[in-house]
Structure 1
Amino acid sequence: MIWTFDPAHSAVTFSAQHMMITTVRGSMKIRDFDLSFDPENREGSSVRVSLDAASIDTGQEARDQHLVSDDFLKTNAHPTIDFASTKIVADGDRYAMHGDLTIRGETRPVVLDAEFGGIVPNMQGGERAAFNATTKINREDFGLTWNVALEQGGLLVSKDVEVEIDLAAVSSETEAAAQVEAEKELEAVSA
């Protein structure tokens, strides 16, 4: 079943240690989203998420400008952060979602600890589904190596970044039918 991303009820957030004692939190906007999810065949599902890297928001404009600069995300050359699942292993309502994460042109395999929140009827028709996923990445694996050594020891910015994704998606039989028809038309034109 094809699902449509609901931006009003979804979020991508992250956190990293600052000066080894405080936590900086931020968010990014989802630019694009594809989810194929069948509750009866969860391991056959797939997800692709693209984030707008320049939308980073930590609540402090000067820090955000530094994060989009060449020192960190280099958004002028790499405007998106992308994740595409490669394998999903189900364990009840929890999943190990294996996939490829691309940040600043560097692609690395990651595993997200994901949870299926369930499916309920959508007030506007069709159904609504919810998912949550978390992971920890080493930012240096993606070329994000800028840092400052602290006088007392340690580094200004932690290497580890915690990521949390809350996704809401909606589907309707009308949308699914329209998608199937569009794919059939495309196949007919290609043949």
Structure 2
Amino acid sequence: MTSDTSTSTAPATTALPLPAGSWEIDPFHSAVNFTIRHLGISKVRGRFSEVTAGLVVGGSAETSSVTATVALASIDTGNKDRDAHVKAPDLLDVERRPTMTFRSTRVAGADDEWTMEGELTIGDVTRPITLAVEFGGLQAFPGDPRRHAGFEATGEIKRSDYGLDFGAGMLGDVVKIQLDMQFLEPAESAAPQG
């Protein structure tokens, strides 16, 4: 998630390579991962295990949208003591800021390379963000009549933009984000594969 405000040259009528309708997240094949620098010399990696999201595909990219909500208390960095500290009032303060939400405002691109602009809200702070999105394809899953669509989205935020500036000098300000998401085809669009 970057603050890059460059615009795409893709026409506004570019259609997404998916059937129209409301796609729901496949939580078992989706992940919200992040990386942050520690002491400027190494990286701490983690994930949020609880995320809900929806993808609405319209007749064009302009009429398509994505929303997502992440439970901040579901953070997992592989160290329970560290996770407890990150959830505490001096950092994420999950009692006061239980969720992080995303709402797209613009989708543009073509083929398998897309850009999604939107708004990220943590607590009472909302900032614009941009994600680079790679469309992984559309594939049937054994035993499921609905096809799965896969996406990888990457970007970065500055935690100080959201008032999360604890540990400056010890923890990096930039948080790099990688989203691996699968969405399930709307039931009304699903057809027997053969």
- Shared fold (TM-score greater than 0.5)? yes
User: What amino acid maps onto 2:128 in structure 1?
Assistant: P
What TM-score, normalized by structure 1, do the two folds share? Answer: 0.83
Shift in Å, 1:118 = 1.2
Structure 2 match to 1:19? 39
Q: How much has 1:174 moved relative to structure 2?
A: 4.1
SS in 1 for 2:145: coil
Check the 8 A contact 1:73/1:103 in 2, yes or no.
no
The answer as to 2:19 corresponding to 1:5 is: no
Which ranges of structure 1 fall in alignment gaps of 5 or more residues?
A: 149-154, 177-191
Unpaired stretches in structure 2, ≥5 consecutive residues? 1-20
Larger Rg over CA atoms: 1
How much does 1:29 deviate?
A: 2.2
Offset from partner CA, 1:35-79 (integer Å, 9 cap, x none): 1125x6334321001001000010111111111111111110111
Question: Using the alignment, how far apart are the partners of 1:159 and 1:118 within structure 2?
Answer: 33
Instruction: Kindly report the root-mean-square deviation, in angstroms, between the aligned alpha carbons of the 2 structures.
Output: 1.7
Shift of 1:30: 3.4
2:92 to 48, 70, 73: 73
Checking the alignment, whether the CA contact within 8 Å between 1:53 and 1:79 is kept in structure 2 is yes
Q: Quick check: 1:130 aligned with 2:144?
A: no
Cα distance in 2 for partners of 1:158, 1:172 equals 40
Q: Taking every aligned residue pair, what percent have the same amino acid on both sides?
A: 36
Cα drift, residue 23 of structure 1: 0.4
CA distance in 2 between partners of 1:91 and 1:135 (Å)? 19
Tell me the alpha carbon deviations over residues 122-142 of structure 1, each in whole angstroms, 9 at most, x when there is no partner.
Answer: 331021101110111110000
Runs of 4+ in 1 over 6 A off after TM superposition: none
Q: TM-score, normalised by structure 2?
A: 0.81
In structure 2, C-alpha distance between the alignment counterparts of 1:44 and 1:144, rounded to whole Å: 33
Q: Which has the higher contact order (CA 8 A, sep 6+)?
A: 2
